[in-house]
A and B are shown apart, each in its own frame.
Chain A
Amino acid sequence: MTDALVLKDVRKSYGQREAVHGVSFSVKEGEVFGLIGHNGAGKTTMLRMISTILKVTSGTITVYGHDVMREPDAVREIISYLPEDAGAYKDLTGRKYLEFIADFFTSGDKKNELVQKGIELADLGDRIDSKVDTYSKGMMRRLLIARAIMSSPKLAILDEVTSGLDVINAFEIREVIRGIAEQGMTVIMSSHNMFEVDMICDRVAMVDQGNVVEIGTPAELKEKYGKKTLEEVFVTVVKGA
């Protein structure tokens, strides 16, 4: 299995404050990789660096062999990023929003096919033609997930994709992620929700204060620390309890 994503000694400083301290890990092609950690641990910063919207202070990040600093345009061709609590353009309908995004990837009949795929993934029924500002949080997230994966990116970067969603919506979003993983798409996602990560991630990295403090499959980590849940493992790793 080839490496879809490789981080080598990655550091990120905001002014005088270092938010990420020499992080290294890799994600295999077709893998669903989870970043777990508390608020401000550095998960979003890592995902933003991978997505090319924040600069890497030192170290390297490569996505399918393309360096995010030296070849950002090539990286953007093969990734899709869904920020935490993201929204869409409120004046557009769901369909128009998908058409707007599809325009960046293709045109003509292929664009129509892409939009149709997005509509199916969003599964919003007639509401796809309603204005986005009338959508509930769950509907919005479904639309944005559809937007993120309809172009079949090689690497989907999802930040806190189910945060704030009710049980049903969170379940359905997880089903979608599981579905795309089965199709071979590589996914890196961050989450507070250890249960969610345990269920859908092949491997996880535990992030604390800008460091990756543990990495492995959920089963490996639970076994290593002799805990029943990933949550317990995390608390043990971070707090030393």
Chain B
Amino acid sequence: MSHLLNIVKKEVRELLTPGSVISIMVVIFLFMGLGGFIGGEIEKSAVLPVVGVGNYEEQTLEFDDGEWNVYDTIRGFYTSQGMSKEALDKSVIKIDMNNIEKDIKTYGISVAFIVDDNFKSNILNGIQGTVHQYYVYSPSGMINGSVSTAVADILIQNVNDDLSSHLMGSDDTKAAIKFLVNPITNGGTHTFINGQEYSDVTPAQLDEAMSSQTIMIPMIIMIIIMMIGSMVISSMGSEKENKTLETLLTMPIKRTTIVSGKILAAAIVGLVYGIAYMVGLRFYLNSILSIEGTSSIDLSKYGMALDTFDFVLLTLSMFLAIVCALGICMILGAFAKNFKSAQTMTLPLSLLAIIPMFITMFSGWYGSSMLMKGILFIIPFSHPMLASEALLNNDYTLVLAGIAYMMAFALISILVTVKLYKSDILITGLSQNKYIQKFRGKKI
């Protein structure tokens, strides 16, 4: 048993290096943060959305027990869900029929219900009344995406049931049972996309189609960064172990050339991998989407498809993200003592790749809070993940700002790496650093 314990103790000491312990701590904090973030997004999506109601006053029906209209019915439903009077006034808004799109934007309305001009007369004549749904499309994440459309359907169903119960209790009506059960028909959806009204698509459908176009990008970026990052850091560890790095450092070439050469080569390989993955996944997704019943809508019809220039920007964004990742890898790799210790260095990089992947998949750039947007922007790998979504929404400012940021980040990381290559750390490691020695001395 003591021999076993001896071996276990030695193995644990080898495996639990300061680097791996820090990485584990970072993982714990990261998942705590991500858990809170995802929980918040789910909670946010579960809250009753802000809705608008228009053209309901003239279409108010009169029953024995009082007046009935869509606006009051929705307010009643919200109240029954425990909403306070103050919150109610901010959640169920009266829509000005001349400014539907403006009101939706101004009040942050998820869906506006516009009662048809013939609603009252139709109902009184035993014909289904129509309620139209109006949206202003704005991109959102995986969870938020289809919420407004789904909630709108639920609300319409509630309004329908409420009117149905009134009609069934009315002696005046002799309408058919079908009408009594479903007195309201969906008048179709109307979605404003960049100021243009479309009547054949819902935001949920747009989000679904967009997700199918863009969901692979974050995954590919994450895979590529983790793979290439691991390769580069391991290569650095291996170069140190074999002392080929020492040889290289005494060659008549500039440190900048060594660093740039290593980064450029790995970035090209990374880009080739990235494009290969994209093409492969594209075929995979197309195969799935071509199955009957799962076909997606044509985004180009709504001015939301990527053109050649967009693809150039996307590829450039991906390439720069890989360069930034490699810059970080080269810095981390400089501290790796050998191949084995290099393996643990890849974890921080993987985490940095996972964070934007989760955020972009769950809430997207446009659905994120300012804090999240800040975090996303700072992490360079976020930008190609965000670029596809932004390009589909013609948001070139975000894409170009991301490209500029990544260029600056890549340049700084290369300069830092060159500085490290000129220092002793590359050969001696951190253990010989005076600050580390002072820290260890104090710790003891």
- Interface, chain A (partner B; CB < 8 A): 13-17, 48, 51-55, 73, 76-77, 79-90, 101, 104-105, 147
In the bound complex, CA of A236 to CA of B360 (Å): 71
State how many angstroms separate the Cβ of B239 from the closest Cβ of chain A: 9
Chain B minimum-CB-distance residue to A13: B434
- Interface, chain B (partner A; CB < 8 A): 241-244, 246-247, 249-254, 423-424, 426-428, 432-434, 436-438, 441
State how many angstroms separate the Cβ of B229 from the closest Cβ of chain A: 20
**Residue contact A85 to B243, C-beta cutoff 8 Å:** yes
**Residue contact A15 to B250, C-beta cutoff 8 Å:** no
In the bound complex, CA of A106 to CA of B138 (Å): 59
**Residue contact A73 to B244, C-beta cutoff 8 Å:** no
Q: Chain A residues near B243: list those with CB within 8 A.
A: 83-87
Chain A minimum-CB-distance residue to B254: A73
**Residue contact A79 to B250, C-beta cutoff 8 Å:** yes
Q: Chain B residues near A16: list those with CB within 8 A.
A: 434, 437-438, 441
**Residue contact A76 to B246, C-beta cutoff 8 Å:** no
In the bound complex, CA of A73 to CA of B254 (Å): 7
Q: Chain A residues near B254: list those with CB within 8 A.
A: 73
State how many angstroms separate the Cβ of B233 from the closest Cβ of chain A: 17
In the bound complex, CA of A88 to CA of B241 (Å): 11
Further contacts, 13 of them, CB under 8 A, given A16-B434, A53-B250? A15-B436, A52-B250, A53-B427, A55-B424, A81-B247, A83-B243, A83-B246, A86-B244, A87-B241, A87-B242, A87-B243, A87-B244, A88-B244
**Residue contact A54 to B424, C-beta cutoff 8 Å:** yes
**Residue contact B250 to A81, C-beta cutoff 8 Å:** yes
Q: Chain A residues near B246: list those with CB within 8 A.
A: 48, 51, 53, 81, 83, 86
**Residue contact B252 to A53, C-beta cutoff 8 Å:** no
**Residue contact B247 to A76, C-beta cutoff 8 Å:** no
Q: Chain B residues near A55: list those with CB within 8 A.
A: 423-424
**Residue contact B244 to A15, C-beta cutoff 8 Å:** no
Q: Chain B residues near A101: list those with CB within 8 A.
A: 251
**Residue contact A104 to B253, C-beta cutoff 8 Å:** yes
**Residue contact B434 to A15, C-beta cutoff 8 Å:** yes
**Residue contact B252 to A77, C-beta cutoff 8 Å:** yes
Q: Chain B residues near A83: list those with CB within 8 A.
A: 243, 246-247
**Residue contact B437 to A15, C-beta cutoff 8 Å:** yes
9 contacting pairs across A/B (C-beta < 8 A): A14-B428, A15-B437, A16-B434, A79-B250, A83-B246, A84-B243, A87-B243, A88-B244, A104-B251
State how many angstroms separate the Cβ of B232 from the closest Cβ of chain A: 15
Q: Chain B residues near A17: list those with CB within 8 A.
A: 432, 437
State how many angstroms separate the Cβ of B192 from the closest Cβ of chain A: 58
State how many angstroms separate the Cβ of B280 from the closest Cβ of chain A: 26
In the bound complex, CA of A48 to CA of B250 (Å): 9
| The 6 residue pairs across chains A and B that have the minimum distance between CB atoms | A87-B242, A15-B437, A14-B432, A15-B434, A86-B243, A81-B250
